[in-house]
Chain A
Amino acid sequence: MDIIILLVCVSVSIAVVFLVLFIWSVKSGQYEDCHTPAMRILMEDNKSETKEKSLKGEKKDERRKD
Chain B
Amino acid sequence: MRLYFLSTLEVNFRVYFLFCNYGGQKLTDFYSKFLTCTNTKMTEINASVQPKSFFAGTVSSVEEQGLCCFHCGLPISGQKYLEQEKQFCCAGCLAVYQLLSSSGMQQFYELQSMPGNAISNEGGEKTYAYLDDPVLQKHLFQFCEGDHVVIRLKVPSIHCISCVWLLENLHRLDAGVRKATVNFLKKEVRVHFNISLLPLSKLAHLLEKIGYPAEFKWNHFKRTSFFEEHSDIVKLGVAGFCFGNVMMLAFPEYFTIEVPHKYKYFFGFVSLLLCLPAMFYSAKDWFTQAYKAIENRHFSLDIPIVNGLLVLFAISCYEVMIHHQGGYQDTLCAFVFFMLLARYFQRLTFDHLSFDGGTLSYFPMSVTLVKEERSTIPLMQIQINDTLYLRNAEVIPVDSILLSDSCLVDYSYLTGESQEVWVERGAMLYAGGKVCGKAIEIKVIQTVKKEILEQIWEDGERKSHKTKVSFADKISPYFMIFVYSLALIGGLWQWYDSHDFNMALFSFSSVLIITCPCALAISAPLVHGLMQRKLSKKGFFLRNGSLIENLYKIDTIVFDKTGTITESGKELKSIFDITNQEDRFAIASLASNSLHPISRKLANQEQKRLEITDYEEVVSCGIKGNANGKIVQLGNKEWLEKSGFELPQACQQRGSSLLVVVCDQKVVQVFETCDVFRNHWQTTIQQLRAYYDLHVLSGDTDQARETLSREFLKPAQLQFRQNPNDKQKYIQNLKENRLRVMMVGDGLNDQFALQEADIGVAVTEAAGHFSPDSDIILEAKSWSRLNDFLAIAKSSVKLIHVNFMISLIYNVLGILVAAMGLLTPLFTAILMPISSLTVVVSAVFGSQLIVKLRKL
Residues of A within 8 A of B84 (CB): 53
On whether A22 and B237 interact (CB within 8 A), knowing A42-B43, A53-B84, A66-B40, the answer reads: yes
Q: State whether A40 touches B164 (Cβ < 8 A).
A: yes
Query: What's the Cα separation between A62 and B38 when bound, in Å?
Result: 14
Among A19, A49, A63, point to the contact of B238 (Cβ < 8 A). A19
Q: Mark A1-41, 1 if CB is under 8 A from B, else 0.
A: 10011011011101110110011011100011111101111
Q: State whether B237 touches A19 (Cβ < 8 A).
A: yes
Query: What's the Cα separation between A6 and B266 when bound, in Å?
Result: 11
On whether A38 and B34 interact (CB within 8 A), knowing A43-B111, A49-B104, the answer reads: yes
Residues of A within 8 A of B185 (CB): 33, 35-36
Residues of A within 8 A of B260 (CB): 1
Q: State whether A51 touches B241 (Cβ < 8 A).
A: no
Among B45, B226, B237, B238, point to the contact of A39 (Cβ < 8 A). B45
Q: State whether B244 touches A15 (Cβ < 8 A).
A: yes
Interface centre among B18, B43, B106 (most CB of A within 10 A): B106
Is residue B704 within 8 Å, beta carbon to beta carbon, of the partner chain?
A: no
Q: State whether B37 touches A31 (Cβ < 8 A).
A: no
Among A34, A42, A47, A53, point to the contact of B37 (Cβ < 8 A). A42
Residues of B within 8 A of A33 (CB): 183-186
Is residue B360 within 8 Å, beta carbon to beta carbon, of the partner chain?
A: no
On whether A39 and B106 interact (CB within 8 A), knowing A4-B263, A11-B6, A66-B40, the answer reads: no
Interface SS majority for chain A: helix
On whether A63 and B40 interact (CB within 8 A), knowing A1-B260, A11-B3, A43-B165, the answer reads: yes
Residues of A within 8 A of B837 (CB): none
Q: State whether B2 touches A11 (Cβ < 8 A).
A: yes
Is residue B197 within 8 Å, beta carbon to beta carbon, of the partner chain?
A: no
Is residue B110 within 8 Å, beta carbon to beta carbon, of the partner chain?
A: yes
Query: What's the Cα separation between A31 and B21 when bound, in Å?
Result: 8
Q: State whether A63 touches B41 (Cβ < 8 A).
A: yes
CB distance from B348 to the nearest CB of A (A): 13
| Residues of B38-78 contacting chain A, CB below 8 A | 38-43, 45
Q: State whether A22 touches B14 (Cβ < 8 A).
A: yes
Residues of B within 8 A of A41 (CB): 34
Residues of A within 8 A of B165 (CB): 43
CB closest chain-A residue, reference B186: A33
Interface centre among A36, A38, A59 (most CB of B within 10 A): A36
CB closest chain-A residue, reference B105: A49
Query: What's the Cα separation between A22 and B181 when bound, in Å?
Result: 22
Residues of A within 8 A of B9 (CB): 15
Q: State whether B2 touches A7 (Cβ < 8 A).
A: yes
Query: What's the Cα separation between A56 and B10 when bound, in Å?
Result: 46
Query: What's the Cα separation between A11 and B267 when bound, in Å?
Result: 13
Interface residues on B, range: 35 or more
CB closest chain-A residue, reference B43: A42
| Residues of B69-112 contacting chain A, CB below 8 A | 84-85, 104, 106-107, 109-111
Among B10, B39, B230, point to the contact of A26 (Cβ < 8 A). B230
Residues of B within 8 A of A38 (CB): 30, 34, 45
Is residue B274 within 8 Å, beta carbon to beta carbon, of the partner chain?
A: yes
CB distance from A59 to the nearest CB of B (A): 7
Is residue B820 within 8 Å, beta carbon to beta carbon, of the partner chain?
A: no
Query: What's the Cα separation between A16 and B245 when bound, in Å?
Result: 10
CB closest chain-B residue, reference A45: B107
On whether A60 and B164 interact (CB within 8 A), knowing A7-B2, A42-B41, the answer reads: no
CB closest chain-B residue, reference A44: B107
Residues of B within 8 A of A7 (CB): 2-3
CB distance from A30 to the nearest CB of B (A): 9
Is residue B135 within 8 Å, beta carbon to beta carbon, of the partner chain?
A: no
Residues of A within 8 A of B164 (CB): 36, 39-40, 43
CB closest chain-A residue, reference B34: A38
Q: State whether B234 touches A26 (Cβ < 8 A).
A: yes
Query: What's the Cα separation between A50 and B171 when bound, in Å?
Result: 19
Interface residues on A, range: 35 or more
Among B3, B21, B229, B241, point to the contact of A34 (Cβ < 8 A). B21
Is residue B677 within 8 Å, beta carbon to beta carbon, of the partner chain?
A: no
CB distance from B85 to the nearest CB of A (A): 8
Residues of A within 8 A of B45 (CB): 38-39, 42
Q: State whether A60 touches B110 (Cβ < 8 A).
A: yes
On whether A42 and B161 interact (CB within 8 A), knowing A15-B245, A19-B238, A33-B186, the answer reads: yes
Residues of A within 8 A of B237 (CB): 19, 22-23, 26
Q: State whether A8 touches B42 (Cβ < 8 A).
A: no
CB closest chain-B residue, reference A47: B107
Residues of A within 8 A of B37 (CB): 42
Residues of A within 8 A of B241 (CB): 15-16, 18-19, 22
Among A12, A27, A36, A44, point to the contact of B270 (Cβ < 8 A). A12
Among A4, A19, A25, A43, point to the contact of B161 (Cβ < 8 A). A43
Is residue B129 within 8 Å, beta carbon to beta carbon, of the partner chain?
A: no
Q: State whether A18 touches B234 (Cβ < 8 A).
A: no
Q: State whether B7 touches A14 (Cβ < 8 A).
A: yes
On whether A43 and B107 interact (CB within 8 A), knowing A19-B237, A31-B230, A31-B233, the answer reads: yes
| Residues of B427-453 contacting chain A, CB below 8 A | none
CB closest chain-A residue, reference B21: A34
Query: What's the Cα separation between A18 and B183 when bound, in Å?
Result: 27
CB closest chain-A residue, reference B163: A39
CB distance from A6 to the nearest CB of B (A): 11
Query: What's the Cα separation between A1 and B110 when bound, in Å?
Result: 65
CB closest chain-B residue, reference A30: B18
Query: What's the Cα separation between A11 and B249 when bound, in Å?
Result: 11
CB closest chain-A residue, reference B103: A49
Q: State whether A8 touches B226 (Cβ < 8 A).
A: no
CB closest chain-A residue, reference B226: A27
Is residue B207 within 8 Å, beta carbon to beta carbon, of the partner chain?
A: no
Residues of A within 8 A of B266 (CB): 5, 8
Query: What's the Cα separation between A39 and B163 when bound, in Å?
Result: 11
On whether A23 and B234 interact (CB within 8 A), knowing A15-B244, A18-B7, A35-B185, the answer reads: yes
CB distance from A2 to the nearest CB of B (A): 9
Q: Mark B238-256, 1 if CB is under 8 A from A, else 0.
A: 1001001100110000000
Residues of A within 8 A of B270 (CB): 8, 12
Query: What's the Cα separation between A11 and B226 when bound, in Å?
Result: 30
Query: What's the Cα separation between A54 and B11 when bound, in Å?
Result: 48
Is residue B797 within 8 Å, beta carbon to beta carbon, of the partner chain?
A: no
Query: What's the Cα separation between A7 and B267 when bound, in Å?
Result: 12
Q: State whether A42 touches B10 (Cβ < 8 A).
A: no
CB distance from A51 to the nearest CB of B (A): 7
Residues of A within 8 A of B782 (CB): none
CB distance from A1 to the nearest CB of B (A): 7
Q: State whether A51 touches B34 (Cβ < 8 A).
A: no
Query: What's the Cα separation between A40 and B260 when bound, in Å?
Result: 56
Query: What's the Cα separation between A5 and B265 when bound, in Å?
Result: 11
Query: What's the Cα separation between A29 and B164 when bound, in Å?
Result: 18
A-B contact pairs, 7 of them (CB 8 A): A5-B263, A7-B3, A8-B249, A19-B238, A27-B226, A42-B37, A63-B42
Given A11-B6, A40-B164, A40-B168, 11 further pairs, Cβ under 8 A: A4-B263, A7-B3, A14-B3, A15-B241, A18-B7, A22-B14, A26-B237, A32-B183, A53-B85, A56-B106, A63-B41
> Which 3 A-B residue pairs are closest in the complex by CB-CB distance?
A49-B104, A18-B10, A36-B184
B residues in contact (CB < 8 Å) with A:
2-3, 6-7, 9-11, 13-14, 17-18, 21-22, 30, 34, 37-43, 45, 84-85, 104, 106-107, 109-111, 113, 161, 164-165, 168, 181-186, 226, 229-230, 233-234, 237-238, 241, 244-245, 248-249, 260, 263, 266-267, 270, 274
